[in-house]
Amino acid sequence: MPYSYLSHLYCPKTDERHDAERIQQLSAVGAPLLVAYDLDGLKRSWRPRDLIGREANLWRYHELLPVRDASNVVSLGEGFTPLFATPRIGRDLGIDDLWLKDEGIIPTGSFKARGAAVVSSASCFIVVIRIEELKVLCPSERSSRDRCGNPKI
């Protein structure tokens, strides 16, 4: 069974397919590229019992993450944060069964750690020919600096 069922990248506006092995972030029409997985292949070979014995972290679900090789995984233990039933808040909001997730207990203290771990791990297999080609689509300039610092290249 493959480590990841990553198939390709695609443009959500045009459905144009892109190679998942190349560094790229936008399609020809300027849309962010999305990740596609071989879900039929996953359905044929994966079973819920496959989760038994796996570490309780983000990488427990590696088949649906865009990293093809376990040796490229970069992790600080992100994921598997608890859900808490909040009946009083739910009642106040008119929601019968409200649960909240505590992302504050991730080792880095930030929900952004999940995305940073996946981006870092997915980038490990890419050989960068020219450093100008390496671009990471980040939610904000500040989060990029917080995550990556100001590297001297």
Going by C-alpha positions, the residue among 120, 113, 127 that lies closest to residue 151 is 120
Q: What are the DSSP E strand ranges found in the chain?
A: 6-10, 17-18, 34-37, 83-85, 99-101
Q: What is the pLDDT of residues 5-50, one digit of tens each?
A: 999 999 999 999 999 988 888 999 999 999 999 999 999 999 999 9
* 66/58 Cα distance (integer angstroms): 12
pTM score > 0.75 for this model?
Answer: no
